[in-house]
Amino acid sequence: MAKLNMVQAINLALREEMARDDRVVVMGEDVGRDGGVFRVTEGLREHFGAERVIDTPLSESGIVGAATGMAAYGLRPVAEIQFMGFIYSALDQLSAHGARLRTRSRGRYTCPLVVRTPYGAGIKAPELHEESSEAIFCHIPGIKVVAPSGPYTAKGLMLAALRDPDPVLYLEPTRLYRLIREEVPEGEYLTELGRARLARTGDNVTVIAWGSMLERVLKAVEPYSADVIDLLTLSPFDAETVLASVRKTGRAVIVHEAIKTCGLGAEIAATIAEDAILHLRAPVLRVTAPDVPVPLGKLIDHYLPTAEQIRAALDEVLQY
Amino acid sequence: MPNEVIAEFKVTRMSILDENGIADVALMPELSHEEIRKMYELMLLARAFDQRALALQREGRLGTYPPIMGQEAAQVGSAMAIKPADWVFPSFRETGVHLSLGYPIAQIFQYWSGDERGQLTPDNLNIFPFCVSVGTHIPHAVGAAMAARYRRDPIAVVAYFGDGATSKGDFHEGFNMAGVFRLPVVFICQNNQWAISIPVKEQTAAASLAQKAVAYGFEGIQVDGNDVFAVYCATRNALEKARGNGGPTFIECLTYRVADHTTADDAGRYRSSEEVAAWRARDPILRLERFMAAQGFWSEDYGREARSRASASMDEAVHEMEGFPPPAAADMFEHACASLSPRQTRQQEGL
C-alpha cells in the first residue's frame, strides 16, 4: 500500500471517482493546466480532458453558481475555491441556492455538489489565505461540512462527499497537506459522513478536534489518558460519539483553530450541556484562536492554539 | 502615434408591431392566425392572473405578490419560442412565462399563498424554482448550459431577470462565463425600468442594457418589449443560434412595470402618474388587438369571450388552490436534505 500525503490522497480520490462516474467534473481557478495552486488536481486534465477539468475565470460566485446549475442538471461537479478567505462571495450561492434548492423545488432539483477549499493557518501565506470560517457554513441547514485530518480520512471523506446527494463543503487543512504521510489504499472506501472517529482512547478527559488541529492535539495529549475525537464531519456533527465519550470521562476540552465566539466549539459545548451535564465533573473548556482577524505570518504562532494551551486546559479540567 | 481604434460597437432595437397595431410585413415572423390567437389568449391569461392575484391579496387570501402587468408581451412572446426540453431559469416576476409553458395555474397561486409545494415543477417541464434573490440564478443557467453541452443534449437554456439584476455581481460572473465558454444560453432581461423605486437611469450609466453583452464577447439586442412579435422573433433567433452552437445572446426587452413592485409597494411615492399613463397607452395587449382586428381575426365578441375564458380559468385555479390541504408542520423537513440528521429527526418528531 502506498504512503501518500493529503494532496495525493485527495487527487487519488478524484481520479478514481472520475474514472468510475462520468458525471463527476472538476472546475475552478487554475485547476486544469496548472493542477491547482496546491497541485491537488494535478494530472487530471491530462487524463480526463479539458471538458471534465475546467479552468474557469476568476469568479468564486460564478463557479459555485454554475456548479449548482450543473448539479441540478444531473452532473456531480467538484468546485474548487482557491482559498477559504475567498469563499465569501460564493456564500450567497451556497446558502441561498445550493443549500435550499432541494427544499425550494420540493425535491425536483437537487444539488450534489462538492465545494473544495483549502483552509487554515500556518503556511506563511498572504492575508485571507489562512481563514478557518467553518462555523459560518455549519449554520446553514442543507450543507454538510467536512474536514479530514490526514491522508486516509481525506480520501474516504472525498469519496463519501462525491456520493452524497446534497452539497458538501470539503475543507482541506493546508498545514497538513504535506505534513503527514499515511498508508492510503487504492480503490473504494467511504468515510461515512456524520460519523466521528475515535483517534485515541483514554479515561479521564474527552478532547474534540478536527482538521488541522487534530495532529497538534494528538501530540499534546500523549502523557494523558484521553479520548480524542476526530470530528471529520463538522455539520451535522456526531453528537452521539461526543456524548458517549463525555459520559465516560466526565470532562471535555474542545480545540479549534477558528475564533472562539460562535465557533463550532460553542455548539458542541452547548450540546454537552443539554444532554450530558449531569455526567460532567468539570467545566467544558475551549482552546481556540482569539477573537481577532487572522493575523499575518509573524503573529500566527500567537494566534493558533498551541500544545501548551491544550495541555493547560487538560490540566485545568483534571483538577476537578 | 494616434490611438488605434480597437473596438467599435453598435446596438440595435428590433420592433415589428407598432403602437397602432401595424406590423412591418417584411419582419413579421411566420405565425398562423391560430398561433397569434394563442399568444393573445396567453397574454389575457397572464393579465387575468395578475388581476386575480391582486384581488386575492387585498382580501387576505394571498401573500405578497409581484404583478407583471404591462410585461405580458415580453413574457408570452419569449416563452412561445421555448421548447419543452429547454431549461428555464425565471426570476420571481415571470407569471406570463409560467402560464405560457403550461405550469399549473393553481400551483402559482399556491406558491404566492405561502405554500412552497407550489414550486414543484411538473415532470414535463424544466423550469427552475422562482428566484427571489435578484440575479443570483444567472450562474445556474450558465452551469446548466455547461452540463447540457457536456451531455451533448440539443437544448438551450433561458434565464429571465429584470433591469435591477444587471447591477449585480452574478450578472457579470454569469455573463462572463457564458461568453468565455460560448454556451447555449439566452439571457432575457425585462427592462421594466423600475427596480422598486430606482429608475433604470440610476441603475446604470450605459445607454442600453443590451450593450453590456458586447463587453462579454457576445451579441446583445434591444427589442420593443411590448411588441410580442419582436420578442418572439428575437428569442426564436437566439434559441436557434444557441442550439446551433452559436453561443449566447442577451435580449433586452424594453417594457414597463405598470403596477407596483409588489402588493407591499406604493409606486405613487416615486414616479408620476403621467409616466404610468403614457405606458398604459402602449399596452401590449391593446396593440395586438389592434393588429388582429385590422387583419380581420379579432372582434369585440371574440375579445369578450377570450377574457371570460381567462377569468373562468382563474376561478377554477383559485378553487383548486383553496382546496389544497394546508401543509403539515413536519413538511418543512420533507425536502430539507436527502436524509435527516439525528437532531433534525428529533426536531421533526418533537413538532
Average per-residue pLDDT for chain A: 97
Distance from C-alpha of A107 to C-alpha of B117, rounded to nearest angstrom: 10
Catalytic residue (one of A129, A139, A279, A302): A129
Task: Give the model confidence (pLDDT) of A175-191 as tens digits.
Answer: 999 999 999 999 999 99
What positions of B carry a catalytic annotation? 257, 261, 270
Amino acid at site A186: E
Question: What's the mean pLDDT in B131-139?
Answer: 97
CATH code of the domain covering residue A61? 3.40.50.970
C-alpha distance from residue B299 to each of A164, B19, B37, B280, B290 (Å): 59, 18, 12, 21, 10
- Percent with pLDDT over 90 in chain B: 100
DSSP state, A215? H
Q: Residue B120 pLDDT more than 90?
A: yes
* H helix or E strand, kind and range, residue A16: helix A6-20
Task: Provide, as residue numbers in chain A, all residues whose Cβ is less than 8 Å from the Cβ of B173.
Answer: 57, 59, 61-62, 65
Residue A33 included in any domain: yes
- CA-closest candidate to residue B232, choices B62, B72, B107: B72
- Asked if B186 contacts B236 with a C-beta cutoff of 8 angstroms, the reply is no
Sheet containing strand A285-289, edge to edge, reads A197-200, A226-230, A205-209, A252-259, A285-289
Q: Residue A161 pLDDT more than 90?
A: yes
Distance from C-alpha of B151 to C-alpha of B154, rounded to nearest angstrom: 9
Q: Residue A198 pLDDT more than 90?
A: yes
Torsion angle defined by CA atoms of residues A57, A63, A69 and A71, in that order, rounded to the nearest 10 degrees = 120
- Domains of chain B with CATH codes: 13-349 (3.40.50.970)
| Model pTM above 0.90 | yes
- Final residue of a domain: which of A183, A205, A235? A183
If you count them, how many residues does chain B have?
351
Nearest to B128 among A109, A194, A239 (CB): A109
Q: Does B120 touch chain A (CB under 8 A)?
A: yes
Residue A189 included in any domain: no
Q: How many domains does chain A have?
A: 2
* H helix or E strand, kind and range, residue A275: helix A264-276
Nearest to A97 among B136, B150, B176 (CB): B136
Contact yes or no for A62 and B174 at CB 8 A: yes
Both A8 and A143 in a single domain?
A: yes
Both A260 and A114 in a single domain?
A: no
Q: Does B343 touch chain A (CB under 8 A)?
A: yes
Both A201 and A179 in a single domain?
A: no
Both A51 and A152 in a single domain?
A: yes
Q: Which residues of A26-56 are buried (b: 16+ CB within 10 A; e: fewer)?
A: bbbbbbbeebbbbebbbebbeebeeebbbbb
Contact yes or no for B173 and A65 at CB 8 A: yes
- Residues whose CB is less than 8 angstroms from the CB of residue A151 and which lie 6 or more positions away in sequence, other chains included: A4, A5, A6, A8, A9, A180, A181, A182, A184
- Final residue of a domain: which of A128, A151, A183? A183
Q: Mind telling me how many Å the CA of A294 is from chain B's nearest CA? A: 26
Both A174 and A309 in a single domain?
A: no
Torsion angle defined by CA atoms of residues B309, B315, B316 and B322, in that order, rounded to the nearest 10 degrees = 160
Both A152 and A277 in a single domain?
A: no
**The pLDDT value given to residue B150:** 98
Q: Does B121 touch chain A (CB under 8 A)?
A: yes
Both A246 and A141 in a single domain?
A: no
Question: Domain limits at A28?
Answer: 3-183
Both A77 and A24 in a single domain?
A: yes
Residue A67 included in any domain: yes
Which residue is listed with cell 411538473?
B122
Which residue is listed with cell 440575479?
B135
C-alpha distance from residue B74 to each of A287, B12, B80, B223, B275 (Å): 59, 17, 10, 9, 20
- Final residue of a domain: which of A183, A217, A239? A183
Q: Residue A63 pLDDT more than 90?
A: yes
Task: Provide, as residue numbers in chain B, all residues whose Cβ is less than 8 Å from the Cβ of A165.
Answer: 338
Q: Does B10 touch chain A (CB under 8 A)?
A: no
Q: Residue B4 pLDDT more than 90?
A: yes
Task: Give the model confidence (pLDDT) of A256-286 as tens digits.
Answer: 999 999 999 999 999 999 999 999 999 999 9
Task: Give the model confidence (pLDDT) of A96-138 as tens digits.
Answer: 999 999 999 999 999 999 999 999 998 989 999 999 999 999 9
How many contacts (CB atoms, under 8 Å) link A and B? 137
Both A50 and A167 in a single domain?
A: yes
Both A161 and A208 in a single domain?
A: no
Contact yes or no for A105 and B180 at CB 8 A: no
Task: Give the model confidence (pLDDT) of A9-47 as tens digits.
Answer: 999 999 999 999 999 999 999 999 999 999 999 999 999
**Residue B147 in grid coordinates:** 452540463
**The pLDDT value given to residue A52:** 98
The stretches of chain B forming alpha helices (DSSP H) are: 33-58, 72-79, 95-101, 105-112, 138-151, 169-181, 200-203, 212-215, 228-243, 273-280, 284-294, 300-323, 331-334, 342-349
Q: Mind telling me how many Å the CA of A75 is from chain B's nearest CA? A: 7
**The pLDDT value given to residue B80:** 98
Question: What's the mean pLDDT in B278-284?
Answer: 96
- For A195, name the nearest residue in chain B, comparing CA atoms only: B341
Q: Mind telling me how many Å the CA of B84 is from chain A's nearest CA? A: 15
DSSP B189-234: EEE-SEETTEEHHHH-SSS-STTHHHHTTSEEEEEETT-HHHHHHH
Both A154 and A228 in a single domain?
A: no
Q: Does B346 touch chain A (CB under 8 A)?
A: no
Average per-residue pLDDT for chain B: 97
Task: Give the model confidence (pLDDT) of B49-102 as tens digits.
Answer: 999 999 999 999 999 999 999 999 999 999 999 999 999 999 999 999 999 999
**The pLDDT value given to residue A30:** 98
Distance from C-alpha of B160 to C-alpha of B92, rounded to nearest angstrom: 9
Both A202 and A173 in a single domain?
A: no
Q: Mind telling me how many Å the CA of A259 is from chain B's nearest CA? A: 25
- CA-closest candidate to residue A249, choices A265, A271, A230, A225: A225
Task: Give the model confidence (pLDDT) of B287-340 as tens digits.
Answer: 999 999 999 999 999 999 999 999 999 999 999 999 999 999 999 999 999 999
- Percent with pLDDT over 70 in chain B: 100
Residue A220 included in any domain: yes
CB atoms within 10 A of CB A277: 10
- Asked if B210 contacts B221 with a C-beta cutoff of 8 angstroms, the reply is yes
**The pLDDT value given to residue A1:** 79
Residue A188 included in any domain: no
Task: Provide, as residue numbers in chain B, all residues whose Cβ is less than 8 Å from the Cβ of A196.
Answer: none
Residue A192 included in any domain: no
A182 DSSP β-pair partners: A4
Nearest to A65 among B136, B343, B344 (CB): B136
Task: Provide, as residue numbers in chain A, all residues whose Cβ is less than 8 Å from the Cβ of B120.
Answer: 105-108
* H helix or E strand, kind and range, residue A68: helix A60-73
User: Pairing between strand B185-191 and A285-289?
Assistant: unpaired
Task: Provide, as residue numbers in chain A, all residues whose Cβ is less than 8 Å from the Cβ of B151.
Answer: 73-74
CATH code of the domain covering residue A283? 3.40.50.920
Distance from C-alpha of B199 to C-alpha of A24, rounded to nearest angstrom: 44
Nearest to B170 among A65, A71, A194 (CB): A65
Which residue is listed with cell 437566439?
B238
**The pLDDT value given to residue B61:** 95
A286 DSSP β-pair partners: A254
Q: Does B344 touch chain A (CB under 8 A)?
A: yes
Residue among A21, A64, A108, A274 with most chain B CBs within 10 A, to mutate = A108
- CA-closest candidate to residue A163, choices A188, A185, A186, A134: A188
Task: Give the model confidence (pLDDT) of B174-225 as tens digits.
Answer: 999 999 999 999 999 999 999 999 999 999 999 999 999 999 999 999 999 9
Q: Does B138 touch chain A (CB under 8 A)?
A: yes
